[in-house]
C-alpha cells in the first residue's frame, strides 16, 4: 500500500514502530558491539556447510539485492557456535551507505563499516517453513559480515555484474552456482546475541552471529551497489538504493558473547 515501509524520512526506521510496534521491543537489531565483550569458552566454532549449496536467483525487492537459495533440503546449513540445531541457508543480501558514507547496521565500539552482508538461515529441524520459523524466538540465524573498502574483492564482481540485471524493484534474474563461501573472511571468530530482523516485520527471532573480521571490497565495487534503484521501472521517481540500513537499537540488558 501507499505508506509501505522504506528508508526515507517519511517511511524509514524512525516511523516503523507505527505499523510494527515490536520496533520498540526488548530484543531489537542491530546493536553496537562494545569494546569489551565477555568471552564464552563454551562457544564452539561456527561451521558453514555450503559445499552443495544451490543459489537460484538474484532479485531487487525494493529494500536490498537478495540472492535466494533452494532451501528444500539440508544441502547448505550452518551449525555450531551458539546454535542447538543446524539452520538452513535461505538467502543473503546487503545493507550499504551513500557514496563515501558508511552503511553497516551493526557498529563496533561506535564505528560503522561501509556495508554489511547478511546470510539468513532458518531452523528447519523445529519448524516446517521459513515463515513459521521467522516468528519463533529460535527460528532464524543470521551471519553478519562487515565490508570495508580497499582493494577489489576477487569474487564480488559476479554479484555486482548481476546487479545490473536487477536495477529496478521487482526484477529477478537467474543466479545459479554461486557459493557464498567465497565471501567469508579467513577467520570465523564471532560475537553472538539474541536479536531481530532489521527490517519490518522486525520479528524477534534471530540469533545473530557477527564475524569479527571484515572482508575488503573496493569503492568501485560498492559504487555498483548504488546503481540499483529502490523504485520500479514503471515509477516516474528514480530513487538510488543506498543507506538501506537501520541504526543500532537499545541493548536492554542483553548479553553479548564472544567466541575465542
Ligand X SMILES: Clc1ccc(Cc2nnn[n-]2)cc1
The footprint of Zn ion (CB under 5 A) covers 118
Catalytic amino acids? 63
Contact partner at residue 120 from ligand X, Zn ion, none, CB < 5 to 8 Å by partner kind = ligand X
Q: Decide whether 79 or 118 has the Cβ nearer to ligand X.
A: 118
Contact partner at residue 259 from ligand X, Zn ion, none, CB < 5 to 8 Å by partner kind = none
Q: Decide whether 140 or 188 has the Cβ nearer to ligand X.
A: 140
Give least dist CB 209 to ligand X, A: 12
Give least dist CB 187 to Zn ion, A: 22
Q: State the residues that interact with ligand X by CB under 6 A.
A: 118, 120, 142, 197-199
Give least dist CB 39 to ligand X, A: 25
Measure the CA–CA gap between 9 and 244, rounded to whole angstroms.
Answer: 12
- What are the backbone angles phi and psi of residue 96, rounded to the nearest 5°? -150, 170
Contact partner at residue 231 from ligand X, Zn ion, none, CB < 5 to 8 Å by partner kind = none
Nearest-CB residue for ligand X: 197
Give least dist CB 236 to ligand X, A: 27
E strands, the chain, are 32-33, 38-39, 46-49, 55-60, 65-69, 77-80, 87-96, 107-108, 115-122, 140-149, 172-174, 190-195, 206-211, 215-217, 257-258
Q: What is the full DSSP assignment across 49-70? A: E-TT--EEEEEE-SSSEEEEE-
Q: Decide whether 118 or 203 has the Cβ nearer to Zn ion.
A: 118
Question: Nearest CA to 78 among 67, 69, 87, 90?
Answer: 87
Q: Which residues contact 132 (CB under 8 A, 6 or more apart)?
A: 139
Q: Decide whether 118 or 224 has the Cβ nearer to ligand X.
A: 118
Cβ atoms 259, 189 nearer than 8 A: yes
Dihedral sign of CA atoms 209, 174, 182, 99 in order: negative
Give least dist CB 169 to ligand X, A: 15
Beta-bridge partners for 57: 68, 174
Q: Decide whether 148 or 152 has the Cβ nearer to Zn ion.
A: 148
Amino acid at each position: 500500500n501507499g505508506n509501505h515501509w522504506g528508508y526515507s524520512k517519511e517511511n524509514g526506521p524512525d516511523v516503523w514502530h507505527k505499523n510494527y510496534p515490536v520496533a520498540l521491543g526488548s530484543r531489537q537489531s542491530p546493536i553496537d558491539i562494545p569494546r569489551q565483550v565477555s568471552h564464552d569458552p563454551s562457544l564452539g566454532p561456527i561451521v558453514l556447510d555450503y559445499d552443495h549449496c544451490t543459489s537460484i536467483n538474484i532479485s531487487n525487492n525494493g529494500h536490498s539485492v537478495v540472492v535466494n537459495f533452494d532451501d528444500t533440503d539440508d544441502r547448505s546449513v550452518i551449525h555450531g557456535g551458539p546454535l542447538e540445531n543446524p539452520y538452513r541457508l535461505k538467502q543473503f543480501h546487503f545493507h550499504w551507505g551513500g557514496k563515501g558514507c558508511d552503511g553497516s547496521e551493526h557498529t563496533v565500539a561506535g564505528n560503522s563499516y561501509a556495508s554489511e552482508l547478511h546470510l539468513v538461515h532458518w531452523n528447519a529441524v523445529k519448524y516446517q517453513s521459513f515463515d513459521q520459523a521467522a516468528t519463533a524466538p529460535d527460528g532464524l540465524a543470521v551471519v553478519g559480515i562487515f565490508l570495508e573498502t580497499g582493494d577489489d574483492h576477487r569474487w564480488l564482481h559476479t554479484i555486482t555484474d548481476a546487479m545490473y540485471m536487477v536495477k529496478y524493484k521487482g526484477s529477478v534474474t537467474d543466479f545459479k552456482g554461486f557459493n557464498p563461501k567465497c565471501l567469508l573472511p579467513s577467520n570465523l571468530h564471532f560475537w553472538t546475541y539474541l536479536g531481530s530482523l532489521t527490517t519490518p516485520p522486525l520479528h524477534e527471532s534471530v540469533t545473530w552471529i557477527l564475524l569479527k573480521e571484515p572482508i575488503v571490497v573496493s569503492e568501485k565495487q560498492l559504487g555498483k551497489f548504488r546503481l540499483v534503484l529502490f523504485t520500479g521501472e514503471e515509477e516516474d521517481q528514480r530513487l538510488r538504493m543506498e543507506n538501506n540500513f537501520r541504526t543500532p537499537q537499545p541493548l536492554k540488558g542483553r548479553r553479548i558473547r564472544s567466541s575465542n
